[in-house]
Amino acid sequence: MQFLKKVLKQFERSFVCIDALDECKDETGRDLLKSLKILADELSFDGHSVRIFITGRNHIESLITRYLMEEAGNTFTTIHLEVNSSDIEKYVHGIENDVKDVPMDIDFKEKLVSKIVSSSGGIFLLPALQIQTVLEYTIVREREEALEINARRAPKHL
């Protein structure tokens, strides 16, 4: 944090981006947020503007509120993003074009999109990885088995 502070002091306005905070262990995430709060407060006191951008699943919102926004005047905006089924469909069509040697049956494609979307938990990366895993197989029966396995393994609540 001392190094980051030295670097950020060189700029009038800075942006700190933390991606996937929810993937940190709880204690690590708390420590990071506390440190960012101290850093932002110190730089703000010296006349520097620091904006903090954090991504993660919904459950980290309470941590951010608790550790970054405890004082009046600090505000943050929450944007909730979820995977859109039409985005997954477009992705499947794009992958299908890449896998020309093994075309996808229309019924299987619909089943694939339906199962993957329902198990996505509002995250695009998970469906993308699941689709790639399923399409690694060249035999329809193997693809269907892989699809069932992926659907069972998907987290129910993210």
Per-residue pLDDT, 21: 92
- CB 85, CB 119: distance < 8 Å: no
pLDDT digits (tens, 9 = 90+) for 32-47: 999 998 998 899 888 8
The pLDDT of residue 25: 92
Q: pLDDT below 70 — which residues of the chain?
A: 70-76, 83, 92-93, 96-103, 121-122, 154-158
Which one-letter amino acid corresponds to residue 25?
A: K
pLDDT score, position 149: 84
Residue type at position 61: E
- The per-residue pLDDT for range 46-69, each reduced to its tens digit, is 889 888 899 888 788 888 888 887
For residue 158, the tally of other CB atoms under 10 A from its CB is: 13
